[in-house]
Amino acid sequence: MNFMPVVLWSDALVFLLLAAGVVVAWYVRRHEHLLLPWRRVGQSGVAVVSLLVLALFLLVGGLDTLHYRPALSDKNGGETVYSPEVLSVFDKLVEPLRLHSEKTYSAPLALTLYAKESFTDAQGRLVRDYPRLQYGGAHLAYPSQRDGDVLTRAAVGALAGLLLAGLSCAAWARLSPMRKKSHGGQFPPPYLLMAIFVIAALIGATFNLATAYHVLGTDKVGQDVLYQALKSIRTGLIIGTLTTLVTLPLALFLGVAAGYFRGWVDDVIQYLYTVLSSIPSVLLIAAAVLMMQVTLDTHPDWFDTAASRADLRLVALCLILGMTSWTGLCRLLRGETLKLREMEYIQAAQSFGVSSLRILTRHVMPNLMHIILISLVMDFSSLVLAEAVLSYVGVGVDPSMISFGTMINGARLEMGREPMVWWALAAAFGFMLVLVLAANLFADSVRDAFDPRLNRTEARA
């Protein structure tokens, strides 16, 4: 075997989350009343398109979660030696992007470096000019060919993407069982088709350009910005999702217990979340992260590679974010449980002598699910945004971990340069905007579909 699979802490937790997601999806599929609100989500064009975008991000993040350590070529007495560098399947897929690094900054699609340098040209003269990039556009003999080449490559890539998308859509439409009962139109619906084609063309063009250029330029140490932006996706997704692993059990158990048992249980839990929420969240997070750093620094034996150290810090950050953000949801759930426990069906169950545990699991919790789901999808985008801010404050992810926050932080210092180095900032903000916007739009649709307060007579018709 020429590689050794590595399961970092965050990977394991993502797999756990994924497994839980599959179980829930399977359960929902078998229960029509649970499926109904999801059908409503599926009928909203905005939701479907944003889900498509999110799915692409999830795909990149997912591939980036399968980690391994490649074997080194020189063997140590017959025993395979593995590289200390932890790579992911995604790294392998975009290997040219990762390995083609230049000397320093270069603008998007540029052929030359950002700054002038002294070097000897082919005739042996010492000149001071913008040196050509090692990889970006290296196949071109003359710089003047660039524009034409970029256009051809983009067009070819876009066409290939469109062709591929068209073929797969056609196959999907033919094979899908939903074809017959589609609601008064063609399947897939036109807006989805449109979105798929636009995205496919974009990805195709970018992909084809990326084989020969640095589509979004390079950063200070010459690393491709597109690669960094794509790698940041995993960090953002992990912060947005793993935090819920902490938030959810805490908020659910404490909130339901406070609302259902009342009395001193309620007092204690209320006291707990009032104390926690009275500390401004950034300060609490900062204090906790500072202390977490001290702990990690005094225990270097907990991790064997730099990647696992950065990863442990990421998991700890999620833990801290979760510990500081469960209070809002807990308060909501407590209020709703207080209302629910006065309902006739709960009182009936109580008078029949049904145990508290059973009442909670059978009668109370199912009626809280919509609140949980809505608040989880709403929190996701704010967590992704928070990561960038926390990294700026200095209490975010490990500086060696590629994330939107570290990208922005690195690029921010170059704002003062003339001409400005704008591409890393633009890339980070652009990717973040697309991810967060898609998440926000999807969250809105989910809320609209699940909120029982909305009148939905027309949706059933």
Partner 1 sequence: MHRSIGSRLSGEFSADFRFGNPAFARTIPLAMIAYLIRRTLYALPILIGVNLLTFALFFVVNTPDDMARMQLGIKRVTPEAIEKWKQQRGYDKPLFINRLSSGSDKLTDTIFWQKSASMFVLDFGFSDDGRSISREIAQRMMPSLAIALPTFLLGLVIYVSFALLMTLFRATALDMAGVALCVLLMSVSSLFYIIGGQFVVSKLWHLVPISGYDGGLGGFKFVVLPIVIGVVGGIGSSSRWYRTIFLEEIGKDYVRTARAKGLSELTVLFRHLLKNAMIPILTGVVVVIPLLFMGSLLTESFFGIPGLGSYTIDAINAQDFSVVRAMVFLGSLLYVIGLILTDISYTMVDPRVRLS
Q: Give the interface with partner 1 as residue ranges (CB under 8 A).
A: 271-272, 274-276, 278-280, 282-284, 286-288, 290-291, 293-295, 297-298, 381, 385, 388-389, 392-395, 404, 408, 412, 415, 420, 425, 429, 432-433, 436-437, 440-441, 444
Shortest separation between residue 79's beta carbon and partner 1, angstroms: 32
**Residue 99 Cβ vs partner 1, minimum distance, rounded to whole Å:** 30
**Residue placing its CB nearer to partner 1 in the complex, 282 or 354:** 282
For the CB of residue 365, give the shortest distance to partner 1 in the complex, in Å: 24
Q: Kindly report the number of other CB atoms within 10 A of residue 267's CB atom.
A: 11
Contact 204, 159 (CB under 8 A): yes
Give the shortest CB-304-to-partner 1 separation in angstroms: 18
Helices (H), 176-305: 190-210, 225-261, 263-278, 281-298
CB of 426 to partner 1, least distance (A): 10
The single-letter code of the amino acid at 161 is G
Residue 164 or 433: which CB sits closer to partner 1?
Answer: 433
Please give the Cα distance from 244 to 377 (Å, whole number).
10
Q: Which is nearer to partner 1, 230 or 411 (CB)?
A: 411
CB closer to partner 1, 153 vs 341: 341
Measured from the CB of residue 427, what is the shortest distance to partner 1 in angstroms?
12
d(CA 148, CA 320): 51
Q: Of 158, 261, 155, 146, give the one whose Cα is nearest residue 213.
A: 146
Neighbour tally for 172: CB within 10 Å: 14
Q: Which is nearer to partner 1, 358 or 412 (CB)?
A: 412
DSSP string spanning 123-150? Answer: TS-EEEE-PBPSSTTTT-SSGGGHHHHH
419 φ, ψ (degrees, to nearest 5): -70, 160
- Mapped onto helix, strand or coil, the DSSP state of residue 71 is strand
DSSP 72: P
Residue of 321, 320, 303 whose CA lies nearest to 312: 303
Residue 24 vs 290, nearer CB to partner 1? 290
Residues 256 and 372 sit within 8 Å (Cβ to Cβ)? no
Amino acid letter, residue 411: A
Residue 373, token pair as written in the block: 């789901």
Residue 261 CB, shortest distance to partner 1, in Å, is 19
In terms of CB distance, is 99 or 294 closer to partner 1? 294
Closest distance of CB 327 from partner 1, Å: 12
> What are the phi and psi torsion angles at 201 (to 5°)?
-65, -45
Could you tell me the smallest distance in angstroms from the CB atom of residue 215 to partner 1? 21
- Of 148 and 394, the one with the shorter C-beta distance to partner 1 is 394
Question: What is the distance between the alpha carbons of residues 43 and 363, in angstroms, rounded to a whole number?
Answer: 29
Residue placing its CB nearer to partner 1 in the complex, 107 or 360: 107
| Shortest Cβ 432–partner 1 spacing (Å) | 6
Residue among 133 and 288 whose Cβ is closer to partner 1: 288
Name residues whose C-beta falls within 8 Å of residue 79's C-beta, 6 or more positions apart in sequence.
none
* Residue 5, φ and ψ in degrees, nearest 5: -65, 140
CA 11 from chain centre, in angstroms, equals 13
